[in-house]
Amino acid sequence: MVNNQKISGLIGLATKAGKIVAGTEACLQEIEKKSIKLIILATDAAERTKRIFREKCKDSNIEIYEGLTIQELSNSIGRANKAIVGIKDKGFAQAINKIINGGEMIE
């Protein structure tokens, strides 16, 4: 079982450090610039949004995590109604991946 509280905490830290982008358009722009290391997609995001990001991330070889709701994700970053967050920092992305994968560090 993935510890979503720890993931939310790391997303909050990344937000304070200025290492995230939030929202569909901002994330799409950063994916094009190849500055996103990990995408956090809300489980209750619109199906169209999920499809777009799954395709973009597959094409760009970016990991996606779908385990938080819009409410949980929005609370983590302190902004309302955000269904998608992009992590721009490799260290934060690796730490979140470590939690998702049960303690294994992903390079």
The domain segmentation of the chain, as residue ranges, is 4-100
Quote the CA–CA distance of 87 and 92 in Å, as a whole number.
Answer: 7
Task: Provide the pLDDT for residue 71.
Answer: 95
The structure's pTM equals 0.89
CATH class of 4-100: alpha beta
Q: What is the pLDDT of residues 28-85, one digit of tens each?
A: 999 999 999 999 999 999 999 999 999 999 999 999 999 999 999 999 999 999 999 9
